[in-house]
């Protein structure tokens, strides 16, 4: 059998990954939770190896889909948030395995509520403040959130949004953060709960640190990559 010889490879310094996580922790303090985004095989760096390396520094791990979450579950015991959509045929497995799905519609929440059957399903409630891909529209979010929160088998773990041009358009991003922050404050007045909010990914962490909310989502930053110009 012919032995494989790769012409190019990446050598990963585990201490560098830990240094980058420590940078975020030191910048924001111990009260902030870190949702380490390791989707797409940790951007090609090895999802399992990266997760195990920073396991004591991360509070939550973020992946793209059920397949990634299932692979990761055997390596860590952290909460795992699925940042991509939960397909209808995947929802039972997501709930049974204790993953945190990101939901964008009342229909999804009702489906998870039905699947829960007396056992709370933790969810990430996604709000669309400008991405146009996933999330309840900002103008409809309060009404939908109230209905979702009232479902007996649903527990809102977090409320999030995504900043699509945080590395390109400062004015647009600041308006997004203002809108999201205003909505979060209103949610907490009208629908009290212990859910946490997150919006800042790598570019947000580096450029918009004044509005960290309770959870940060470092992604490429873990690997020493800045998405800023």
Domain boundaries, the chain: 31-223
pLDDT in the model for residue 226:
87
Q: Does domain 31-223 have CATH number 3.20.20.10?
A: yes
pLDDT digits (tens, 9 = 90+) for 112-138: 999 998 889 999 999 999 877 899 999
pLDDT in the model for residue 121:
98
pLDDT in the model for residue 218:
97
Please list, in sequence order, all residues whose beta carbon lies within 8 angstroms of the beta carbon of residue 223, skipping any fewer than 6 positions away. Answer: 17, 20, 42, 43, 45
pTM summary value? 0.94
Question: Please, which residues bridge with residue 101 across strands?
Answer: 82
pLDDT in the model for residue 6:
79
For tokens 């873990």, the residue is 222
Low-confidence ranges of the chain (pLDDT < 70): 1-2, 229
Give the 3-state secondary structure of residue 213. coil
pLDDT digits (tens, 9 = 90+) for 64-82: 999 999 999 999 999 999 9
**Exposed, middle or buried: residue 64 (CB in 10 Å: 0-12, 13-18, 19+)?**
middle
SS3 content of the chain, % helix, strand, coil (to 5): 45, 20, 40
pLDDT in the model for residue 1:
62
């Amino acid at each position: 059998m012919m032995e494989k010889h790769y012409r190019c490879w990446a050598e990963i310094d585990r201490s560098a990954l830990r240094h980058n996580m420590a940078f975020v922790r030191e910048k924001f303090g111990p009260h902030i939770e870190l949702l380490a985004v390791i989707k797409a095989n940790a951007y090609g760096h090895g999802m399992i190896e990266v997760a195990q390396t920073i396991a004591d520094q991360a509070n939550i791990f973020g992946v793209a889909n059920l397949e990634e979450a299932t692979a990761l579950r055997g390596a860590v015991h952290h909460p795992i948030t699925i940042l991509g959509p939960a397909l209808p045929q995947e929802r039972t497995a997501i709930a049974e395995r204790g993953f945190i799905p990101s939901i964008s519609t009342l229909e999804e929440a009702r489906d998870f509520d039905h699947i829960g059957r007396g056992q709370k399903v933790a969810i990430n409630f996604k709000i669309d403040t400008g991405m146009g891909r996933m999330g309840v529209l900002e103008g409809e979010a309060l009404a939908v959130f109230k209905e979702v929160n009232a479902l007996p088998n649903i527990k809102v773990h977090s409320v999030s949004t995504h900043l699509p041009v945080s590395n390109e358009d400062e004015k647009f991003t600041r308006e997004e953060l203002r809108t999201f922050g205003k909505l979060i404050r209103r949610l907490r007045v009208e629908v009290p709960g212990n859910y946490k909010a997150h919006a800042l990914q790598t570019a947000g962490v580096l450029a918009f640190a004044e509005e960290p909310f309770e959870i940060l989502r470092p992604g490429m930053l873990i690997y020493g990559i800045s998405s800023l110009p």
